[in-house]
Amino acid sequence: MRGVILAAGEGSRLRAYSDRPKPLIPLLGLSLIERNILALKECGINEILIITGCYDAEIRDYLGSGRRLGVSIEYLHNPQWKLGNGVSAHTFQQAYRENEKYILLMADHVFAVDLLRAFIKEAEKLEQDRLLLAADNRLDQVYDVAECTKIMAEGGPQAKRLGKGLKDFNAVDCGLFADSGLLQKALAQSIDRGAYALTDAVNLLAAEGKVNLHYVNHYWVDVDDPAAYQHCERVLLRSLVPPKDGFISRTVNRKFSLRITRQLAATKITPNQMTVISFLVAAASAASFAFLNPLIGGLLAQLSSILDGVDGEIARLKFLQSSYGEMFDSILDRYADYLIVLGMAFAWYSSTHQTTAAMLVSAAALTGLPLSMLFKEKYRKLTGKAYVPEINDGRLHYLPANRDGRLFIIMLGGIFNQIPAALILLAAVTHLQCLFRLRAVRRVL
């Protein structure tokens, strides 16, 4: 299946926000059109065709053959883009391969990858004589309904009528289509009649009952004006928080990490570089503890915990996830934990005469650190399912024994200069969690 991206318009309303052509306006590190291309690639669509109009040269220069993005890009230019987006969409007729099914989307819309994936899955099953249109019937959640093309839907669901000015409607158009040639015929027909908007052609098909609707369940934003741009940034950032996040991570760390990610998105910094930075901050925390500056040590530990979220956020935001990155992150996290606890142990040991107590407690804390990950990965091996503390641990998940909780304990220990207490607590929660889990899974495994 090819992906056809409509990038012909002028996008004058975003002019005030950036002087680049609208599809090339950067949003959190990727231009709008790049984000669409990478999202399609994530869904398995590697053949892209871009219909240009107003900014033909700029877009070609920027994206080229698509090699940089790992896809193949072709271009079609519509010199008559000013007439309407239906004329631009119809330009694709020149490159259309008989009976081909393709996805058509707007360059200036941002879609959740999961939305595209679900849509493409349904498109694959679409009959030849139907057009599939992504529609959103969660009207209370749709941003700026006034600006949307409305849909009156019925039955299956099918679109009955579409229009920006529709009074009676129960969904809105998301700017995402799947077609097997039907739309191109309708476009020819409607252009013949002097109606140049894409909606005109879709309306022709809707009148014949040929427009199937796919109701979306994930976010999408039509980035039309500065307010929508800012809304889209917020939505994208929010989407970076995993559905099941640790308690401290959710309530504390993400508040900061998302801000940092927002700032770093436009830079060239990679997720693996962020992993290293987070590790170095942890090493600095360890050194601060060891050189008897627990306040700085504690704060740096928490900063490292926050930065530990940023690498994943940048990876998800900019389509830079990799297995190696995940492995690198999880090993470096273990070393970061180890170093900080060693720094604390050294502080305790060197500043008091409780050497045996310091040794034993520190050993207990050190050995407790990797248990949570060990248990979770083994559980995954044995059951094929992820062990999600927020679900599988039951009440136990309030025990701050996962990484966000552990580093929070360390921060508190540093701030209040209670290193022995923090180490005792760390040792207790990590080992207790492991033993409780071992007992709890007895029934499950």
Tell me: does residue 362 bind a copy of itself (CB under 8 A).
Answer: yes
Nearer to a copy of itself, 293 or 367 (CB): 367
Q: Taking a C-beta distance cutoff of 8 angstroms, is the pair 129, 210 a contact?
A: yes
| Residue whose CB is less far from a copy of itself, 269 or 441 | 441
Q: Which residue has 């500056």 as its token pair? A: 293
34 contacts 58 by C-beta, under 8 angstroms = no
Give the length of the chain: 445
Nearer to a copy of itself, 265 or 341 (CB): 341
* Binding of a copy of itself by 351 (CB under 8 A): no
Scanning 109-117, 136-144, 203-211, 373-381 for contacts with a copy of itself by CB under 8 A, the matching segment is 373-381
Q: Which residue's CB is nearer to a copy of itself, number 241 or number 332?
A: 332
Site string for a copy of itself, 375-404 (x = CB under 8 A): x-xxxxxxx---------------------
Q: What is the helix (H) or strand (E) element at residue 115, kind and residue range? A: helix 113-124
Map tokens 């641990």 to a residue. 393
Residue 353 lies near a copy of itself (rule: CB under 8 A): no
What six digits make up the tokens of 279? 């590790």
Tokens 């966000």 belong to residue: 404
Query: Is 57 or 445 the residue whose CB approaches a copy of itself more closely?
Result: 445
Q: Residues 371, 407, 422, 423: which binds a copy of itself (CB under 8 A)?
A: 371
Cβ–Cβ under 8 Å, residues 433 and 372: yes
By beta-carbon proximity to a copy of itself, the closer residue of 102 and 319 is 319
Query: Number of residues in contact with a copy of itself, rule: CB under 8 A?
Result: 37
Query: Residues with Cβ < 8 Å from 19, sequence gap 6 or more?
Result: none
The per-residue b/e assignment along 200-216, b for 16 or more CB within 10 angstroms, e otherwise, is bbbbbbbeeebbbbbeb
Among 7-15, 110-118, 303-311, 436-444, which window interacts with a copy of itself (CB under 8 A)?
436-444
291 lies in the site for a copy of itself, by CB under 8 A: no
Candidates 209, 328, 417, 421; binder of a copy of itself (CB under 8 A) is 328
Residue indicated by tokens 């552990």: 406
Query: Among 397, 408, 383, 409, which residue's Cα sits nearest to residue 437?
Result: 397
From the number of C-beta atoms within 10 Å of its C-beta (0-12, 13-18, 19+), residue 250 rates as: middle
DSSP string, 336-357: HHHHHHHHHHHHHHHHSS-HHH
Per CB under 8 A, which region of 158-166, 198-206, 246-254, 363-371 contacts a copy of itself? 363-371
| Residues pairing with 49 in the sheet | 4, 74
CB of 289 to a copy of itself, least distance (A): 14
Using CB under 8 A as the binding rule, whether residue 323 contacts a copy of itself is answered as: yes
- Nearest CA to 413 out of 259, 284, 238, 296 is that of 296
Residue placing its CB nearer to a copy of itself in the complex, 188 or 440: 440
Q: Which residues bind a copy of itself (CB under 8 A)?
A: 322-324, 326-328, 330-331, 334, 338, 342, 345-346, 349, 355, 359, 362-363, 366-367, 370-371, 373-375, 377-383, 434, 438, 441-442, 445
